[in-house]
Structure formats: structure tokens, C-alpha cells
Amino acid sequence: AQSVTQPDIHITVSEGASLELRCNYSYGATPYLFWYVQSPGQGLQLLLKYFSGDTLVQGIKGFEAEFKRSQSSFNLRKPSVHWSDAAEYFCAVGALYGGATNKLIFGTGTLLAVQP
């Protein structure tokens, strides 16, 4: 069965420091992978996605993620964190349903806190 694991429930980093949020997935075929961000009281915003091709994908707000098939991972990175990046981050895999990829399976999220 498809699943997504985000091992870190809560991470605190200092403003200006680098960030890496971990995501591991379980999926039988080539996965469609996503990172979403949820600010307090807000909906989910798509940061970036991977379908195929270059394994390093660039997203909005200076985020990037690298797909590593051998490790079943899709970790999110940012070289320098800003205080406004404090939010909940969700990794998700697009799962096949009825022959098409139209169901997202989410990880449990990582809450990012940013210290001044």
C-alpha cells in the first residue's frame, strides 16, 4: 500500500540557517511527489512537485527537493530560512485510483518553528 512517512514531527531552526525536511514514501510504481505548506489557519499551498526527469526540483519561496529512488526519499531543502517559513509542511504521493493518478496520500506533517 502507498504511504508517506515524515519522521520529524517538529523541527526548530534559527533564522538564516539551512533546512532539510525528510520524507520517505512507499509506492510500487514511479511516484508523483509533492510538498505542501500550511500556514496557521490557512489552506495548503503547493511548494513543488516531481513527476519525472531531473531529480532536483525547484519550487516557490526558494525551496527545492531531491528525489532519490534508491532511498525512496523526497527531502525538502532551503538554504536560508526566513521567519515567515514557520508553518506545517506536508509531503504527499499521488496514488493511482481507477487507472489514473488522482488521489493524494499525505504524510503526518512536520511543524517548522523559526527562532530569531
Partner 1 sequence: DTAVSQTPKYLVTQMGNDKSIKCEQNLGHDTMYWYKQDSKKFLKIMFSYNNKELIINETVPNRFSPKSPDKAHLNLHINSLELGDSAVYFCASSLWDRGLGDYGYTFGSGTRLTVV
Stated as kind and residue range, the H or E segment containing 5 is strand 3-5
Cβ 28 to partner 1 shortest distance, Å? 13
The rounded distance, in Å, linking the Cα atoms of 34 and 51 is: 9
Residue 65: count of CB within 10 angstroms of its CB: 26
Distance in angstroms between the alpha carbons of the first and the last residue of the chain: 41
- Closest approach of Cβ 108 to partner 1, in Å? 6
Query: Cβ 104 to partner 1, closest distance in Å?
Result: 6
Q: Measured from the CB atom, is 48 or 81 closer to partner 1?
A: 48
CB of 4 to partner 1, least distance (A): 10
Residues that bind partner 1 (CB under 8 A): 32, 34, 36, 38, 42-46, 49, 51, 88, 90, 94, 96-106, 108-109, 111
- Determine phi and psi for 29, rounding to 5 degrees: -110, -170
Residue among 46, 115, 106, 60 at smallest CA distance from 86: 115
- The total number of residues shown for the chain amounts to 116
